[in-house]
Amino acid sequence: MLFCLTANHRNTDFDVLDRISRAADSTGADVVAAHDFVRGAVVLATCNRFETYLELDDPVTGGVALAREAVLEAVAESTGTDAEALRQSAVVLSGDDVVRHLFAVSSGLESMVIGEEEISGQVQRSLRAAREAGTSSTQLEQAFQRAARATREVRAKADLAAAGRSLARLALDLADSRVTDWDAIPVLLVGTGRYAATTIAALQARGAGNVRVYSATGRADAFARKYGVRAEHELRDAIAAADIVITSTARYTIGPADIPDDRPRLVIDLGLPRNVEPAVGDLPGIDLLDLELIGRHAALAELGAGAHEVVGSAVATFHAERAAAPAIVAWRTHVQSVLDAELGRLRPDDDRAAAALRHLAGVLSHGPTTRAREFAAAGRLDEFERALETVFGVEVASGPSMVADDERAAG
């Protein structure tokens, strides 16, 4: 069974999100290590959400409640009292609702800026991080991989052109009233990660011609060459020369001591955890625009039924594929056994005949595999399974443990 605990911009204060996001690297591994009923975990931490996705043993008595406490315990180990704030605000989902939520998140339909472009990449990076940590699992792999497909379908079929924007673009929209000429105003970008590239694109789209970049990791020179901007190597000096400072980094937090004077500046903090200490906003001349303030201006209007209908269709397809997995595996196993028997009759050096038989087996497997998914989507999977047994004598195994094994084999 799938489980999700979600804390996001709609239900949790940004200060809490800021602090619990620091627990993202360890939460999944801690939960898996501490609880035998948790098969896998993926943690998604972005600038406006903290979500823990789990695969639980099924059936487990009180599994959802146990999973919720397991996540809260893991967060408490890292953040202390913020776990109680999370208990009061976070939403828990299970089963089919988890898949629908994940697909909607990946498609940008749950973001502060509806249609946000960066979120799908963040979802897939969270899966890769779980793989590297050894906490991914069969159902989580399937759900997250299908989420990427659902995102592509939403963007292809639904009208996201007008709403498909990033937080960086929204922040610059809010800054427009303060800027007379983007080409002339000196801008400093602090950070060289993936979101920094999006920010550079948003700046260049406005015609910003005096952009500099600073990196605490020493990657400013390479980043500057790639994007045609100037590298800076001393943060305080770089801030002194800038009228707008935009932060997007996991490596550095700007404090009052980094601000060299009280000349008027706009500081835009796109980081979570925060890249700019709140005290900076109290300094003379500083106008601080952080995620909480940006979120108040984010467009929350619905895109219309189209995008959500595509997500619903993708969810239905996902469940149909899972339901069809045992029948598909049974059919493929049958074809493979026939293939093995025929290969055993060939001469050991008859490579061409062996290759031809393998190709034929692949062709034979494909058609019924497709039909199994179609029948599952139409609610007629039992007809397909009876046909397999009637025509080929192939029985489809059932039961929770067998289904899980079959899904692994079916890919």
For residue 194, how many other CB atoms are within 10 A of its CB? 12
Active-site hit among 23, 47, 75, 259: 47
CB 163 within 8 A of CB 303: yes
Dist CA 370 CA 406 (whole Å): 16
Q: To the nearest 10°, the Cα dihedral for 98, 99, 100, 105?
A: 90
Identify the pLDDT of residue 399.
46
Given strand 286-289, what is the order of strands in its sheet?
Answer: 230-232, 211-214, 187-190, 244-247, 265-269, 286-289
Identify the pLDDT of residue 306.
66
Return the amino acid letter for 195: Y
Annotated catalytic residue 4: no
Which 3 state secondary structure label does DSSP give 91?
Answer: strand
Dist CA 246 CA 82 (whole Å): 28
pLDDT digits (tens), the chain, 411 positions: 999 999 998 898 888 888 888 778 889 999 999 999 999 999 999 878 999 999 999 777 788 999 999 999 998 888 777 788 888 999 999 998 999 999 999 988 888 777 677 889 999 999 999 999 999 999 999 999 999 988 888 877 765 544 445 778 888 988 988 888 999 999 999 999 777 888 998 899 899 999 999 998 889 999 999 999 999 999 999 999 999 999 988 777 899 999 999 999 999 998 877 899 999 999 999 999 988 888 777 654 444 456 777 888 888 888 777 788 788 888 999 999 999 999 999 988 889 999 999 999 999 888 888 888 788 877 888 888 888 889 988 888 764 433 343 443 333
pTM exceeds 0.85 for this model: no
Dist CA 380 CA 385 (whole Å): 9
User: Which domains are present in the chain?
Assistant: 2-157 (3.30.460.30), 167-297 (3.40.50.720), 313-410 (no CATH)
Identify the pLDDT of residue 182.
94
